Structure 1
Amino acid sequence: MSYELTDMKVFVAVAEEGNVSRGAERCHLAPSSASLRIKNLEDSVGVALLNRHPRGVALTAAGQVFVEHAKRCLAQLEQLRSDLLPFTQGMTGHVTVFANNNAISSHLPDDLARFFAAYPSVRITLEERMSHDIVGAVVAGRADVGVVALESEHPALRFAPYKEDQLVLLAPITHELAQQSHVSFKECLGQPFISLQSGAALHTFLNNHASALDGRLDVRVQVSGYRAIARLVASGAGIGIVPRTAIESSDKGKLAVIQLTEPWSQRNLHVCVSRNPAEKNLYRDKLVDMLCQPSE
């Protein structure tokens, strides 16, 4: 097939407008030039892509397939341009970091701010994942650095301590559980929960442990962050489970913080990297060193 990127852009514009003249105008071309480009495109792929009518054009079945692929190709090319832009503006390095929700919400913002203060021209791609997915991504090379809470390690990765944390139960101060210093997760399953949204690592983690107990979370409200959980719990809407480090001093006196008896409630975070990375990355190593520095 021999056609140009401009041909694809013109075809998408004409298809979306349903009219050659309006599509050509979007691409700053004369209608005759747009028509010729589309005709050459059809000749190249060997099938009609448009049905021409007196008042406009409509996609053929083949045209519908082509326009969907063309849109994806153009979107990927635009993303390529965006990804390359930092390099043209003086970016010196890039690090991809996968981390669980706890790390992203509670710890990494301040630590990444320190890193950017030291290395302002470096760019970081930060994505939330479940801990076991993070390990697989670092092993496969899809992520340079992982921040995980795991009880077992992977032989292909090097793990270093990052932060100590613990999952705790939040309850309204008037709740029946508020007078207890410790509570089992099973005791909580009959209560309405304030939870993170479906797909969040902690939401999936708690649902899996509920299923293991032949139970389920009675989710009353789903929210986007730990602060919303704390506020709703304090209002009496339900109970919630959050990392202890997500609790702020302003929460004291507004809700009860209760330890969970399950061993999995201890969620110490570790940084993981490949023992034998495929490529050298100075800024990956600088970031890992900074994250793993002992707290002063």
Structure 2
Amino acid sequence: MHYDLVDLRLFVAIAEAKNLTRGAERVHLAASSASHRLRQLEASIGTPLLLREPRGVSLTRAGEALLRHARQVFAQLEQMHADLTPYAKGVRGHVSLWANTHATHTFLPDSLATFLQRHPQVSISLEEHTSPDVLMAVARGEVEVGVVAGAMEGADVELIPYKADRLVLIAPAEHPLAARKHCPFVQVLEYPFVMLHAGSAIHTFTMNAAAALGRHLEVRIQVRSFEAVCRMVAAGVGIGLVPRSAVSERGLPIIELEEPWAQRDLKVCVRKRALLSGFAAELVDCLTAEAD
């Protein structure tokens, strides 16, 4: 079975426009040529992709499946172009790095800036994932370097110390918790929270910690950074759970959590340090040289 990228682009355009003529116009083809290509595509696949209707077209079940996969194909092509572009500009190396929210929003910006200043010929793609996802991706060889908090049984990886940190609770100055120095997590669950956006690693971690106690967090607002969490807490919106390193200078009350999981020491994660590619090994050396 043969798939032509021109035909796939045409099909996506028609599916999104819900009209053959308008879809053909989007990819700069005549309607007659588009119709011919579409018939050939359907013949090649062996099933109809579109239902012709008086006022346009709709997708068959096969058409819905093809649209989903075609969009993934073009997303992968865009990523391929993005990954190759630096080489055309003279960049001679690239490292993929996955990290949890904690590392991405606190220590990594300065660490990566240091590395890139030392290695101007290298580019880095940084993706944020939960620590278990990072560990598994490194163990499977999908990414060479990760930064995580904690470990996971069954993950065949090496963990190298990076940064020591701790999750703490911050509260508005007049909040009932503000006078406390420490507190168990279960006692703060009755209050509304300011959280990072859903899908962030620390959002998932906090929700899971509450669920383990049979409780559910009341999330008052979700924001995009720890700095925004601090600002919202300072404004009295709710309480927040953030790394101590991320607490901005706002005089916010800090409450220590009593749970062992509050200690969130970050570690660099690799499959086998001795087998890392050149620039990945240099990145690991740079990160672990800063270990504290």
**TM-score tier after normalising by the smaller chain length:** 0.7 to 0.9
For the pair 1:289 / 2:285, whether they are aligned, the reply is yes
2:209 aligned with 1:209, yes or no?
yes
Change (3 A) 1:67 1:220: closer
Identity %: 45
Q: 1:180: how far off? A: 2.3
Residue 107 of structure 2 corresponds to which residue in structure 1?
107
The amino acid of 1:214's aligned partner reads G
Listed one character per residue, the Cα deviations across residues 210-254 of structure 1 (whole Å, up to 9, x for unaligned) are 3333333232222222112212222222222211100122x12xx
Match among 254, 257, 268 for residue 257 of structure 1? 254
Equivalent AA in structure 1 for residue 284 of structure 2: V
**Is this contact kept in 2: 1:15–1:57, CA < 8 A?**
no
TM-score with structure 2 length normalisation? Answer: 0.84
Secondary structure at the counterpart of residue 120 of structure 1: coil
Does the 8 Å CA contact 2:165/2:265 hold for their aligned counterparts? Answer: yes
Q: 1:268 aligns with which of 241, 257, 265?
A: 265
Give the distance between the partners of 1:214 and 1:188, measured in 2 at CA.
14
Q: Distance in 2 between matches of 1:194 and 1:181?
A: 20
Aligned counterpart, 2:186: 186
Conserved 8 A contact 1:3-1:40? no
The answer (yes or no) to whether the contact 2:230–2:248 under 8 Å persists in 1 is no
Residue 26 of structure 2 aligns with an amino acid whose one-letter code is: R
Please say which of residues 14-23 and 110-119 is displaced more in the overlay: 14-23
Provide Cα deviations, 1:121-155, integer angstroms capped at 9, x if missing partner.
32222122222222111111122111111167767
Asked if the contact 1:15/1:23 (under 8 Å) is kept, the reply is yes
Match of 2:242, SS?
strand
Unaligned runs of 5+ in 1: none
Backbone CA RMSD of aligned residues: 3.0
Which amino acid counterpart does residue 275 of structure 1 have in structure 2? K
Residue 107 of structure 2: SS of its match in structure 1? helix
| Structure 1, 57-66 or 117-126: larger mean CA deviation | 57-66
2:171 is matched with: 171
Aligned length: 291
* 1-structure distance, mates of 2:51, 2:157: 57
| Greater C-alpha Rg | 1
Q: Which of 35-44 and 236-245 deviates more?
A: 35-44
Matches within 5 A, 1:64-143: 65-143=65-143
Asked if residue 228 in structure 1 is aligned to residue 225 in structure 2, the reply is no
The equivalent residue for 1:58 is: 57
Match of 2:157 in 1: 157
| More displaced 10-residue stretch of structure 1: 63-72 or 121-130 | 63-72
- For 1:149 and 1:51, the matched residues in 2 are separated by 51
Q: Distance in 1 between matches of 2:113 and 2:123?
A: 12
- The 3 A distance-change label for structure 1 pair 183 and 42 is closer
**For the structure 1 residues 244 and 34, does the alpha-carbon distance in structure 2 shift closer, same or farther, using more than 3 Å as the test?**
same
CA distance in 2 between counterparts of 1:181 and 1:167 reads: 14
Contact kept in structure 1, 2:161 and 2:291, CA below 8 Å: no
